[in-house]
Chains A and B, each alone.
Chain A
């Protein structure tokens, strides 16, 4: 996984709450067996609407998505994270993320930055008044920044310490866990014999 320290890119105001993973990428796009190429399916239903934000040239190259609360609810499909990344997003800002989506983001290197709902409102207003304006997501200082002067928006965001550390270091979870393999092996010795198995010896 690539290290993430700070990113500045065009902010995309997605004025919606409860953006579920079926909206991020509908099931019909999930049939691929690779991790790439999912950008076509991203928000596919909404992209048919001319007024949809990504159909506006100013936002089309966006890399920081600013969405309403309960982003990423629903299905566990990590394809939702891949679709956002395949399109070019590096970070999503929202007042509240669904657990599985947040977990998937952390594993794949997409920053899910949780901010106060007021910050999202201000970012929406700023990005709509200044289409194509950039937003900075600074993982080292845990802050989001946009605008300048009196209009400047700067606030802290929440992300758990462990995920932040892994993203900053670009570490792979499986490698970390396998480093503790003896713990797993000794745990396995303590499991009761009546626990079920799917394959039976002999």
Chain B
């Protein structure tokens, strides 16, 4: 019988396989950041161990770095200690680090692909759950905890039980104005947050093939939000074109050998998945969340649901709690919800295409007077590219804040946070209670919805801007 894409990649990385034990998998690339690594390096030191393959390891500073005054010492002493600890560990163990101020610094999941380090058929791990982003290239990529970070540092391998396989086929084409973010939010609302539990998911079908590389990353990024172990997409010409010429991409004869191998990384016709989901992109619309997990979403044109609408008792209770936390009344049209802060950024939507799209919508408009718009590029390279294209000027003229690279308000570990009770429309991936700051209320949205919301002050799509112009 044929094999699926993920089975092929998995099999290529098995170092040792014994009945009754998890497989020992070789790891091609280990990404590291300041938050989940200090205790792992400490563990190595205590046991007198070294980093087995510093040449397959890359560190960057992203989660807690400031996005203003990044040329000055970090003001918060605890954050500073954590960043300094990473710098010391990188130096002591010989790991390549892109620190704050370096031109390659940025969110770890933006930096890997941008350098060309993320390639098809690899195994990639990082002490961060959104490592699934790299699956967009046809790699098996997943988040690990700190003990596993230490395990990979010491052995360049991980013990992993082989997950089941699932295919998510998205047929048709996305209508204009509907993005990869809407696609994945629709999927998660369909499956619930636990729907992918125990599976490696392959996204396929016409709508997936039509996505750009950056949009594919948006989809794979959110695999973890419906519980999947990893999500991946078969590499194709779009993938190869994106990688070619990047600093760490193979060159010359190596490039030809690599592409020849990558081309074989597709699911065989006669392969079988353990589970399958089929959706139609043609019916998708801008999609936003109303609750406190990414599965609690509805189309922008809909209203806040009533807890009674949920059949499952757990879902009902969860909806009641979410509405209370979000301070929302069931039945309120989503479009009437007023937003205090709009955040454009994160490893979900902080790449150059996202910023171009946001700028295109915002150009010629002003940010609503009661709303704050924060635009945070995913990496220094993205920031410089945007500045070269004049996008920063468009944002600033509209009244937005243009920031330095990092995770920023995605998780509120640095000074960019929501105040208690404040409401945001955010292009990031998690709307958990307090995720963007204690008491903060988050609506997950696409880039176009974020941009239009910043202008109108209430959850909106770009179409609402046009109708306002037509009416007024």
Contact = CB atoms under 8 A, between A and B. Distances in A.
4 closest cross-chain pairs (CB), A and B:
A107-B147, A104-B145, A78-B145, A33-B38
Contacts of A118: none
A103 B127 CA distance: 12
Contacts of B81: 31, 33
Given A96-B197, A194-B254, 8 more contacts: A31-B35, A73-B193, A174-B49, A176-B159, A178-B155, A181-B155, A183-B15, A196-B249
Contact of A174 (B28, B154, B317): B154
Interface of B: 15-16, 20-22, 24, 26, 28-29, 35-36, 38-39, 42, 47, 49, 52, 54-58, 63-64, 76, 78-79, 81-82, 85, 94, 96, 116-117, 119, 122, 127-129, 131, 143-148, 150-151, 154-157, 159, 161, 193-194, 197-198, 224, 227, 229, 248-250, 254-255, 257-258, 261, 293, 314, 317-318, 321, 411-413, 430, 432-435, 438-439
Given A45-B434, A69-B194, A196-B117, A77 B36 contact: yes
A3 interface: no
Interface in A136-194: 160-162, 173-174, 176-178, 180-181, 183-184, 187-188, 191-194
Of the candidates B151, B154, B432, the one having the most CB atoms from chain A within 10 angstroms of its own CB is B432
B430 A99 contact: no
Given A196-B29, A199-B96, A162 B20 contact: yes
Nearest to A96: B194
Residue from B54, B131, B147 having most chain A Cβ neighbours under 10 A? B147
B82 A31 contact: yes
Nearest to A201: B55
B43 to A, nearest CB: 8
A32 B432 contact: no
A4 B76 CA distance: 39
A26 to B, nearest CB: 5
B433 A77 contact: no
A108 B147 contact: yes
B317 A194 contact: no
Contacts of A173: 147, 151, 159
Contact of A196 (B63, B119, B439): B119
A184 B318 contact: no
Contacts of B36: 76-78
B255 A177 contact: no
A126 B317 CA distance: 20
Contacts of A75: 128-129, 411, 430
Interface stretch (A15-23, A50-58, A85-93): A15-23
Contact of A34 (B39, B127, B433): B39
Contacts of A103: 144-145, 148
Contacts of B430: 20, 22, 74-75
A74 B161 contact: no
A23 B198 CA distance: 22
Nearest to B417: A28
B79 A180 contact: no
Contacts, number: 202
Given A18-B193, A194-B250, A194-B255, A76 B128 contact: yes
A34 to B, nearest CB: 7
A197 B314 contact: no
A98 interface: yes
Contacts of B151: 173-174, 177
A200 B58 CA distance: 13
Given A77-B145, A107-B147, A197 B55 contact: yes
A22 B56 CA distance: 30
B15 A198 contact: no
B16 A180 contact: yes
Interface string A94-110: 00101110011001100
A201 to B, nearest CB: 8
29 contacts: A22-B434, A26-B435, A28-B413, A31-B35, A31-B78, A33-B42, A70-B193, A75-B128, A76-B127, A76-B145, A77-B145, A78-B127, A99-B227, A100-B143, A100-B145, A103-B145, A160-B161, A162-B21, A176-B159, A178-B154, A184-B26, A184-B52, A188-B26, A191-B26, A192-B258, A193-B254, A196-B117, A198-B55, A198-B58
Contacts of B248: 196-198
Nearest to A48: B438
Contacts of B412: 27-28
Contacts of A184: 15, 24, 26, 52, 155-157
A35 interface: yes
A98 B228 CA distance: 9
Contacts of B314: 17, 68-69
A40 to B, nearest CB: 13
